[in-house]
Amino acid sequence: MKKIAIIGASGLAREIWDLINAINDQKLQWEIIGFYDDAYATPTQIIGDSICHGSISLLNDVKEELSIAFGIANREVVSNVFHTLSRKRNFNFPNLLHPSVEKGFDFKMGKGNVIATQTVFTTNVEIGDFNFFNTCCGIGHDSKIGNFNCFMPRVQISGNVIIGDFNNFYMSSMIVQDKSVGDKNTIFAATLLTKSIKDNRTYFGVPGKKIPNL
């Protein structure tokens, strides 16, 4: 088995723990060595028999080959931690897909993606690195998604949609076909995007309207 550590120790990190165990139920692959989170100064039991060992900096002492999973929704934080940890050549960042995930023909992805239960990718979909897809997301044909995006439960992306980097899509938000989304946008829950948007915007409503950034 390959050893894996989870960065973060909150509710989302526990969901990643559960996802890894679902993978192991199908085929034993991972030994979870525990959680690492700067909020914990001393070892603390988090879930099952897994503990948070303490600060992320403790990983600097690890010399053996180790896989890293991120249980953090904030993609800016994930990016910063990744760029720190990536300096250690013994660390790698695998894709973690729940066994129920459906992938259509010619699906491509980079590294470090986490894809939760019942998410569906149809044909000719490409995703980059370190994206997080929560439960029951749907990504349509010929869509292309960049890096460090976060998709909360039941986000629905229609066909031929292009998405950049560091975007946050909250629960049940949607994009109609043939649109593009730039970088660092926030799409609030239950919002329907019916037009392409640029960078650093916040949208809410049906149809989605630009509102002041919070």
Would the pLDDT of 168 be above 80? yes
**Mean pLDDT confidence for 110-119:** 98
Could you tell me where in the chain the CATH 3.40.50.20 domains are found?
2-94
Cα-Cα end-to-end distance for the chain: 44
Cα–Cα distance for residue pair 4/191, rounded to 1 Å: 36
H-type helices in 27-143, by residue range?
A: 75-85
- Say which CATH class 95-202 falls into: mainly beta
pLDDT confidence tier of residue 207, bands split at 50, 70 and 90: very high
* CATH, range 2-94: 3.40.50.20
**For residues 160-185, average pLDDT:** 98
Task: Say what percent of the chain tops pLDDT 70.
Answer: 100
Residue 170 near residue 185, CB atoms below 8 Å: no
Question: Of 53, 83, 98, 141, which residue is the catalytic one?
Answer: 141
Q: Are 50 and 30 in contact (CB under 8 A)?
A: no
pLDDT at residue 213 above 90? Answer: no
| CATH 2.160.10.10 domain range(s) in the chain | 95-202
- Catalytic site includes residue 98: no
What lies within 8 Å, CB to CB, of 147 at 6+ separation is 110, 128, 129, 130, 131, 165, 166
Residues 40/92, Cβ–Cβ less than 8 Å: no
Query: What does the block give as tokens for 183?
Result: 């970088």
Can you give the pTM of this predicted structure?
0.95
User: What's the chain's average pLDDT?
Assistant: 96
